[in-house]
Chains A and B, each alone.
Chain A
């Protein structure tokens, strides 16, 4: 299945693995990544697929709603993954 993924904060630069080959310009915060995953994958599977450093990862959203890493993804889901952020 395909999901749409956006990475923010420090995470955009942290992606590694084969997906990089599809984005020769590099990945920026908020760039839309189309990621192919096996059916029934969870957010944790997605994180592993992108080889994201888990220690830099703080908040995950699916379709604009906060979700935990065991959340099971569905085709077409929009995922946003953030390193710790704050401001005001």
Chain B
């Protein structure tokens, strides 16, 4: 296994043996460790001293189910904190198959505005990856839906990682996009502006050709197989994850109705917890709408090889042709409910434009909602929202403001209700109606991030326990436990977060631990997992502290403390001491 270092200053590379200290890491555990060890915390995120790190999970590239995830890490231009954002596609297993444990992009292009692509393939005679730099200028400034087919035509069956116009333009809202299994530019490590970090280095694409690559080494095959069988059984049995279960049928947008019912679906820029149009944009409506337009039922597909949950949907136009994949819950909410838009065709177009331009759908939607509050458009005006999205995609002065995210737009436009923590906008759960998720937003090392500690499971969905969403009691412990577990069990192993929906089946957790021990030859127990996760969080926290963040940054925006949120008319009432206890007692 290697660490592949790419220097964009002189376009050289080094293939290093994995140091002992990194051998048992992968995914977020590895990206965050490398950033902690090597990136000066006070560096400018878009300057030459930041590093962009790609690391497949520990079991990524093996036959472990639902595990084809890549962690992308750097210091974030959106939050100024350490950042890990992950995505599933064919790209992560391809990198792992070439035995690259981490790809570290360093330095910075010398010529402003110049873009390169990196091509990695397997050199069979040398028995190692072959690294090439090729000019990418001809693809700059274009819609990714137009660019991807050109790359497939040129390189054949490859896996693509890329940035769009947003990353090229160094927007703080810019993701790293990967091709899904049908070649769409739709799988995003979206959060935190990592596309801009890649853009700042002058790197436009990373193209992987895994042909003849040897694949991932497994220390104890029998144990690994036992683990993957346990996990597979759990995922095939749990109601949410099984074939034709909730995720496979309705997609992640099945959450729209339940969050609305619970009064925790942020609407019209976080001014209400209920949205009248919710049923029109929910997962059930997507399923029914497709059925009507296609004349048959359509179940969802996998975003990445080996996923047996298969939650990714495709929305179709009235004539039955494809409009976009994928309308995720977060995108559906951010560009729908939070902008007051209840028309799935408009939402689908907004998602498509985010994919085309290289924008994170969450940050884009929350920014447009802030712009609506400032009077640039009416809430509910989908047509105007599409126009604002094009401004971002064209790089007009207004577009550049909006492209720098929710908080930047709120500052420029004079909007007090800016729903961000550490500069990153909140996703689709209202903290005033679901107190625990607010603790995760406030304290996560990543800024407002639901995936960092998904307390929605016990607070709303009745998975891994059941607690009252409106009560602040005991929620610091819940958030801390979820943050620590997540850092390892999904983000470091390389499993998709959605395996957590099978956690009430005991073999789910055990299976993952067996898989990890099988691949690494370790002897971790189920009880070790939280400790391993906590270690990762401590490194991230240490980086953030050295970057100048203190506990005053672990707070929700002030308006949530004095504006009562309908329908429950609650404010955010988790005391600061409870927030401080999350990491204070880690």
Chain B positions 417 through 455: 1 when the CB is less than 8 Å from some CB of chain A, otherwise 0: 000000000000000000000000000000000110010
Residues from 1 to 25 in A contacting B, C-beta threshold 8 Å: 6, 8-10, 12
Query: Chain A's nearest CB lies how many Å from the CB of B37?
Result: 30
Query: Does the CB pair A29–B239 fall under 8 Å?
Result: no
Partner pick for B463 among A66, A82, A86, CB 8 A cutoff: A86
Would you call B413 an interface residue if the criterion is a C-beta within 8 Å of the partner chain's C-beta atoms? no
Residues of A within 8 A of B454 (CB): 88
B278 (CB) vs chain A CBs: closest residue: A30
Would you call B262 an interface residue if the criterion is a C-beta within 8 Å of the partner chain's C-beta atoms? yes
Chain A positions 74 through 88: 1 when the CB is less than 8 Å from some CB of chain B, otherwise 0: 000000101111111
Report Cα–Cα, A82/B462, bound state, in Å: 11
Would you call B567 an interface residue if the criterion is a C-beta within 8 Å of the partner chain's C-beta atoms? yes
Query: Does the CB pair A86–B247 fall under 8 Å?
Result: yes
B253 (CB) vs chain A CBs: closest residue: A87
Query: Chain A's nearest CB lies how many Å from the CB of B155?
Result: 32
Query: Does the CB pair A87–B254 fall under 8 Å?
Result: yes
Query: Does the CB pair B329–A87 fall under 8 Å?
Result: yes
Binds A, one of B23-31, B144-152, B280-288: B280-288
Looking at A10, A12, A86, A88, which has the most chain B CB atoms within 10 Å of its CB? A86
Partner pick for B282 among A30, A58, A65, A80, CB 8 A cutoff: A30
Residues of A within 8 A of B254 (CB): 9, 85-87
Partner pick for A8 among B241, B257, B330, B469, CB 8 A cutoff: B257
Q: Number of B interface residues, CB 8 Å?
A: 47
Query: Does the CB pair B240–A84 fall under 8 Å?
Result: yes
Partner pick for A28 among B249, B253, B278, B279, CB 8 A cutoff: B279
Known contacts A59-B462, A66-B468, A88-B450; A29/B257 CB under 8 A: yes
Query: Does the CB pair A84–B246 fall under 8 Å?
Result: yes
Report Cα–Cα, A10/B250, bound state, in Å: 9
Query: Does the CB pair B284–A87 fall under 8 Å?
Result: no
Known contacts A86-B240, A88-B252, A88-B330; A59/B451 CB under 8 A: no
Query: Chain B's nearest CB lies how many Å from the CB of A76?
Result: 15
Residues from 439 to 495 in B contacting A, C-beta threshold 8 Å: 450-451, 454, 456-457, 460-463, 466, 468-470
* Given A6-B257, A29-B257, 13 other A-B residues pairs in contact with their CB atoms under 8 A: A29-B284, A58-B239, A61-B262, A64-B568, A66-B460, A82-B258, A83-B246, A84-B239, A85-B257, A86-B463, A87-B251, A87-B328, A88-B456
Which residues of B are at the interface with A, using a C-beta cutoff of 8 A?
239-241, 245-247, 249-255, 257-258, 261-263, 278-279, 282-285, 288, 311, 328-330, 450-451, 454, 456-457, 460-463, 466, 468-470, 497-498, 501, 567-568
Q: Which 10 pairs, one residue from A and one from B, show the smallest C-beta to C-beta distance?
A: A30-B279, A87-B252, A29-B284, A86-B240, A84-B239, A80-B261, A87-B255, A86-B501, A64-B263, A87-B329
